[in-house]
Amino acid sequence: MTEGPWHRRHRVAVDVAIAVAFVLLDTGATLLGSSWWPERPGTLAWTLLGVQALACASLAFRRVAPLTVVGVLGAFTLAVTLLVSPAGALTPVSDTNTWAPYSTIMAAYGPFFYREDRRTAFLVLAALTLAIMRPWEPSVTVMTVGLLRTAVGPLLALYFDARRRMVFALVERAERAERERHLLAEQARAEERARLAGEMHDVVTHRVSLMVLQAGALRVTARDEATRQAAEELRAAGCQALDELRDLVGILRTAPEGDRTPSVDGFADLVAESTAVGTPAELIEDGDPALASPVVGRTAYRVLREALTNVRKHAPGARVTVRAQYAEAQVRLTVHNTVPAGRPSGDLAATGSGLGIAHLRQRIELVHGTLRAGPSPDGGFSVEATLPAYVPTAESAV
């Protein structure tokens, strides 16, 4: 499915890649002496290097447990600090380095972007900042670098979070404006229908009524039978026209009921109907069908109906697989049939106009979708429709 950019569809892989990158970065930086690495490393130093790699690898869980990741890296930084002083078990090459790994920058980003509880995030960040800055050993360099380590991530997180909320708000406003536009258009159409109904009632009905009255008067006053007969026929036709005009005015004053074509909830019935008439079909649905807006659902229903009809006409004995995939951005419907087991009936195949797929393509293009139909590598035939999940209409605005 292609409902979004690759990094959004494979978030776990992205997080693992980020974690691996920071493990390599911090391991390399430590070995080069930019952190707590001693001039003559011993067993303790190598053990701590492995623990640091594990702590940095916790970034893979920065979305699901951001506070835990901060706690792990903060605890490691504090442990190294205590081993350096006052324990004296480690003697770094330079005592002006920051003992915290670079992974703390990415770790500090998580609580502010993936959690709503900002108060807890600030408290955890304050504890991490103290562990990195080592205020009990005042050093302008260490305290400045430490503050930057814990400030850059949250600032970026707050910026991206504000940007994300703004984009969501703009999208929602645009969709609301689109719905309102369709509602106004629908209201204008209803008012125009009412105006036309009034015009027909006031003008046309009045004139036809006069014709009926004049025809009735002529029938009474006429002296010869032929004239009376013609006047009666004219009067009867006028009365019939009045009845039809009243019906038409009633139709104009009544809002149209809309398209009664079923939506995606009718897929199962189409598949069952196909199986019942001798064309075995299987329906596979992935996602929430509610993501398809009404006009999209009806369009997809027509695609499936046409595809199953064509299989029955042109591929007798074939098995059909219907796959419907629903995502936030698009709806994809794939209808694939296997190689037919027999020859199609000429009489049955000739019953269609041959324009079904062409008409479907035109209908799908109206909602900015695409349709592909053609032979498949296994010798069967496939129809694949890709539609936007949401197409605003007056119906969806109600």
At residue 9, the 3 state secondary structure works out as: helix
- What is the rounded CA–CA span in Å between residue 81 and residue 136? 11
Average pLDDT value for residue range 117-133: 83
pLDDT digits (tens, 9 = 90+) for 217-274: 888 888 888 888 888 888 888 787 777 776 666 656 555 555 567 888 999 999 998 8
Residue pLDDT, tens place only, 321-358: 999 999 988 999 999 999 988 776 554 444 444 556 77
- Cα–Cα distance for residue pair 366/386, rounded to 1 Å: 12
Could you count the other beta carbons within 10 Å of the beta carbon of residue 22?
A: 24
Confidence category of residue 162, pLDDT binned at 50, 70, 90: confident
The model's pLDDT over 5-58, given as tens digits with 9 standing for 90+, comes to 666 677 888 889 999 999 999 999 999 988 898 988 899 999 999 999 999 999
Distance of CA 22 to the CA centre of its chain: 33
Residue that is written with structure tokens 């036809």 in the block = 208
Instruction: Specify the pLDDT at position 143.
Output: 85
Span 367-390, average pLDDT = 90
Whether the pLDDT of residue 97 is over 70: the answer is: yes
pLDDT band at 159 (very low <50, low <70, confident <90, very high): confident
Count of residues in the chain: 398
Output the pLDDT for position 281: 93
| 322/23 Cα distance (integer angstroms) | 45
Contacts 24+ apart (CB under 8 A), 112-116: 112/153, 112/154, 112/157, 112/158, 112/161, 113/66, 113/157, 113/160, 113/161, 114/62, 114/63, 114/66, 115/66, 115/67
Dump pLDDT digits (tens) for 265-300: 999 999 998 888 888 999 999 999 988 888 888 889
d(CA 115, CA 66): 8
379: left (phi over 0), alpha (psi -120 to 50) or beta: left
User: In a 3-state reduction of DSSP, which class is residue 257?
Assistant: coil
Q: Residues 166-190: pLDDT tens digits?
A: 888 888 888 788 777 877 777 787 7
Tokens 């990195």 map to which residue? 132
Burial of residue 28, with CB atoms counted within 10 A of its CB: 0-12 exposed, 13-18 middle, 19 or more buried: exposed
Q: Is the pLDDT of residue 1 over 50?
A: no
Give the DSSP per-residue string, 303-366: HHHHHHHHHHHH-TT--EEEEEEE-SSEEEEEEEE---SSPPPHHHHTTS-S-HHHHHHHHHHH
Q: How far is CA 210 from the centre of its chain?
A: 60
Instruction: Tell me the C-alpha distance between 10 and 124, whole Å.
Output: 28
Tell me the per-residue pLDDT of 208-218, one tens digit each, with 9 for 90 and over.
777 777 888 88
Task: Give the N- to C-terminal CA distance of the chain in Å, as an integer.
Answer: 30
Residue for token digits 């009034």? 198
